Structure 1
Amino acid sequence: MESLQEKNRGYGSIFRNLNFFSIWIGQTISVVGDFLYIIALMWWVLEKTGSTAAMATVAICSSLPAIILGPFAGTYVDRVDKRRLLILMDLGRGVLIAVPGVLYFLNQLQVWHIFVIAAFLSSMSTFFNPALASFLPVIVNKEQLVRANSISQMSSNLSGIIGPALGGALVALFGAGTVMILDALSFFVSVIAIFLVRVKVEQVFPSEERKRFLQELMDGLNFIRKESGILGLVVLFSVLNFFVAPVGVLIPLMVKKILKMGAEGFGVLGSSISVGMVLGSLFLGMIGGVRRKGTFIMIGIVVAGSFLALFGVSESFWTSIFLLGGCGFGFSFANILVPVVFQSKIPHEKQGRVFGTLGTISGGLRPISLALVGVMGGLLHIQMIVFLSGVLVALGGLTGFLIPGIKKL
């Protein structure tokens, strides 16, 4: 008879898990829609305003709710039916995404509408993301977590190959409004997929009586403080997010002003990042159980930062495609292995609140960075900012090798 260990080898056993398969299909379609929306949104704001400050403001509006609500959302997630919460958040996001699409076709869409909608979308995602992260270990056993996360990340990146390139083409052909409506529809597909999941998640609390909400809120922070490896990762990624945050705002400007390309070129560059991430996902998937996860994460960060710095000085479109692909390859290590570390070390009954707190701490400096680039974008050369961001990210990865807690992960 085939042993459990043998059954867990490869990807086949995961896809035979119908609950995981349903979530995977729904999220893959939804992520394609998200990439379509990002391309449409950023290019529309760039064409409408031509302003670094306006694009940075969109990013700030998307960041602040996650930072402010993160710990509260995570604690709330631990108290409720995660499946129901996932459905409600996707329904809400689908409706919200449709609003700018409709306003676009009515010729009423304004930049301030985008700011407000970005804030509400981020608020809903702040509840959705920790719920999904803490839901995965319920439908997938511990031995399959690395491959499950690898599949999820690889699918997200495959969606990232299709989405940006398709989004750029659709924006050029039909306008941003059509792309926004398509993203709204993708959320409704995700709702159906989550609805098909039949796992009942029992709420588990560390004592017979529920702790007060504030006490549960503090549990997330206290857990992180006691786990030196997780604390080291969170602090390091908070700094890295500060360095890398400006890049997402500046890439559209580089495409238009330095590389002399349109929305299609912006989409292709976005896809190249995902190509690199897919290759990284395949690499980690073939390795399977990575023992020194902290070391692999830091190697990936150094690789990503190095390629990002080179992209900052590139003036060739085709060279830029290759360099951003290398950047994606490096970042894929962190995107896959960091969730595995958290899911395996954090007790299930605390995962929601801990994930929420992690998001707040790791992204806490992001709005400051975006505000600075909004001001400095008109003072410093775009390429110089991107180059320095890459150098600092690579140095941050090298610093991670010196943190004992990370080395032991």
Structure 2
Amino acid sequence: MPAPQAGSLSGLGVLRAKRDFARIWAGQVVSRFGDALDVIAFMWIILELTGSTLMMGTLVVVNTLPSIFLGPFAGVLVDRWSRRRVMIACDVGRGLVTLSVAALWALGSLPVWMLFVVTFVNSIFEVFELPARGAVVPLMVGRENLVAANAIYGFASSLAQLFGLGAAGVVVASLGVTAAVVTDAVTFFLSALSVVVSAVPELERERLPLKIRPFLRELGEGLAFVRSEKVVLFAIVLAGVVNFALGPLNALMPVFARGALGLGPEALSLIFMGFTAGALVGAALVGQIFKGTAEVILLRWGMVGVGLAYGLLGLVPSAWAAVAVAAGMGLAIPFAQAGFSSLVQRRTPEDRMGRVSSLMGTLVLAAMPLSAGVAGAVAERVSIPIVFASLGVLVMATSAALLWTWPFRELRREAAEKASAPPS
């Protein structure tokens, strides 16, 4: 195992030592729990109002549109504005918009079109909030603690989502849709409060008026940086490839489980739980044990693990084998995520972090619905095991083509030299 970086903290150590980061982290965990409730509640509302699976799929598409079309432009503004104020405003805005859904549903006056408008507006808020949160992490924890911080973020998000999805059905069934949506709104307000009570470092910026020409110039600066910084560019491409590969998983897994394995919904649930459990274990390992491992090593391990697991998924003979392979894939993803996020944050100047995060989010989010549509059409003509195996080969081939190129080999050499150097 590579030697840890000097002075790096574990995931729990970061939370203990960086109290302001811990408060924002806790607010984000609560918000992720609410998001999981929200997914089930909104889908249930669509089902109650229309009974249409097409409408459910359309709602998912509407949710991704702002990220795809507004993401790069939002990043420019995030780099101009106070990131603390952006996070607070977006959380409060999402809370108020979500409360309006609860009120209209309780009054029996919620039209279907309103649900699509609310989803679209909330997604716009998220387009601004996510790069703002990503940009403040290096400022709050220090670049030497990025791996541990990103790992503890991933661990908490997976855990909150797991419990949120588990609680959503109980809340909707016992307390009703209104209670679930109100709970989600409250989590946004709590997330905003966590930022209000925290000291968030801000960069010194020259306050320039917002005009079209400077705006486009700053957007171009972000694009030019990504093109020139090959490590960041290749890492973003890899993230897009992984998300392209993972996009069809939710859509094709039920068909694969029933058709190829002869399984019912209970076994399908076990497979997805295996994936989540693996992700929790992987995030804990990265945050506590591999916290000082070089980002390029984590990225290599993670990408190879995801590719292998995906390829094996199409060969499993039974439910428990599928659970084991899904757990292996889940285990690998936090290694790739922590390595990827930390590498991009470490290589990107702080005053361009918003633009780079937004470009990254646009590519990553655009890949998933695109691949789900392509894979769905391909799966009509080709067996799903072959689709899974092909996606696994895609991940492995792209990883081999990019992660062993000169920029990453140089990063690996620098990491080895740093690990072998005597402590100062």
Q: Report the equivalent of 1:129.
A: 130
Question: Structure 1: how far apart are the matches of 2:296 and 2:230?
Answer: 12
Question: Structure 2: how far apart are the matches of 1:289 and 1:73?
Answer: 32
1:406 Cα deviation (Å)? 4.6
Q: Report the equivalent of 1:380.
A: 380
Residues 236-385 of structure 1 aligned to structure 2 (within 5 Å): 236-249=238-251, 259-261=263-265, 271-285=273-287, 286-291=289-294, 293-308=295-310, 321-372=323-374, 376=377, 380=380, 384-385=383-384
1:391 Cα deviation (Å)? 3.7
Conservation of the 8 A alpha-carbon contact between 1:90 and 1:187: yes
Amino acid at match of 2:198: V
Question: Structure 2: how far apart are the matches of 1:185 and 1:19?
Answer: 21
1:11 Cα deviation (Å)? 3.3
Q: Report the equivalent of 1:228.
A: 230
1:260 Cα deviation (Å)? 4.0
Q: Report the equivalent of 2:414.
A: none
Conservation of the 8 A alpha-carbon contact between 1:55 and 1:249: no
RMSD value, Cα: 3.6
Amino acid at match of 1:63: T
Q: Structure 1 pair 110/369, CA: closer, same or farther in 2 (3 Å)?
A: farther
Q: Report the equivalent of 2:398.
A: 399
Conservation of the 8 A alpha-carbon contact between 1:56 and 1:371: no
- Stretch deviating more after TM superposition (32-41 or 223-232): 32-41
Amino acid at match of 1:233: A
Q: Structure 1 pair 10/354, CA: closer, same or farther in 2 (3 Å)?
A: closer
Give the TM-score, by structure 2 length: 0.81
Question: Structure 2: how far apart are the matches of 1:119 and 1:184?
Answer: 16
Question: Structure 1: how far apart are the matches of 2:56 and 2:300?
Answer: 30
Q: Structure 1 pair 328/243, CA: closer, same or farther in 2 (3 Å)?
A: same
Give the TM-score, by structure 1 length: 0.83
1:48 Cα deviation (Å)? 6.5
Amino acid at match of 1:195: V
Question: Structure 1: how far apart are the matches of 2:258 and 2:41?
Answer: 15
Q: Report the equivalent of 1:59.
A: 60
Q: Structure 1 pair 13/331, CA: closer, same or farther in 2 (3 Å)?
A: closer
Q: Report the equivalent of 1:162.
A: 163
Amino acid at match of 1:287: F
* Structure 2, unaligned runs of 5 or more: 412-424
Conservation of the 8 A alpha-carbon contact between 1:164 and 1:271: no
1:159 Cα deviation (Å)? 1.2
Q: Report the equivalent of 2:76.
A: 75
Conservation of the 8 A alpha-carbon contact between 1:94 and 1:184: yes
Using the aligned pairs only, state the percent identity.
31
Q: Structure 1 pair 273/199, CA: closer, same or farther in 2 (3 Å)?
A: same
Q: Structure 1 pair 155/93, CA: closer, same or farther in 2 (3 Å)?
A: same
Amino acid at match of 2:350: H
Question: Structure 2: how far apart are the matches of 1:127 and 1:134?
Answer: 11
- State the secondary structure of the residue aligned to 2:198: coil
Q: Structure 1 pair 386/201, CA: closer, same or farther in 2 (3 Å)?
A: farther
1:76 Cα deviation (Å)? 0.4
Q: Structure 1 pair 306/205, CA: closer, same or farther in 2 (3 Å)?
A: farther
2:121 corresponds to 1:140: no
Question: Structure 2: how far apart are the matches of 1:36 and 1:273?
Answer: 19
Question: Structure 2: how far apart are the matches of 1:121 and 1:363?
Answer: 16
Q: Structure 1 pair 259/275, CA: closer, same or farther in 2 (3 Å)?
A: same
Q: Structure 1 pair 63/248, CA: closer, same or farther in 2 (3 Å)?
A: farther
Question: Structure 2: how far apart are the matches of 1:341 and 1:77?
Answer: 20
1:321 Cα deviation (Å)? 4.6
Q: Report the equivalent of 2:418.
A: none
Conservation of the 8 A alpha-carbon contact between 1:160 and 1:274: no
Question: Structure 1: how far apart are the matches of 2:49 and 2:314?
Answer: 25
1:139 Cα deviation (Å)? 1.3
Q: Give CA-to-partner distance per residue, 1:14-58, whole Å, 9 cap, x none.
A: 423221111111111111111222233345556766765434322
Question: Structure 1: how far apart are the matches of 2:235 and 2:390?
Answer: 19
Q: Structure 1 pair 304/53, CA: closer, same or farther in 2 (3 Å)?
A: farther
Q: Which protein has the larger Cα radius of gyration, Structure 1 or Structure 2? A: 2
Amino acid at match of 2:361: G
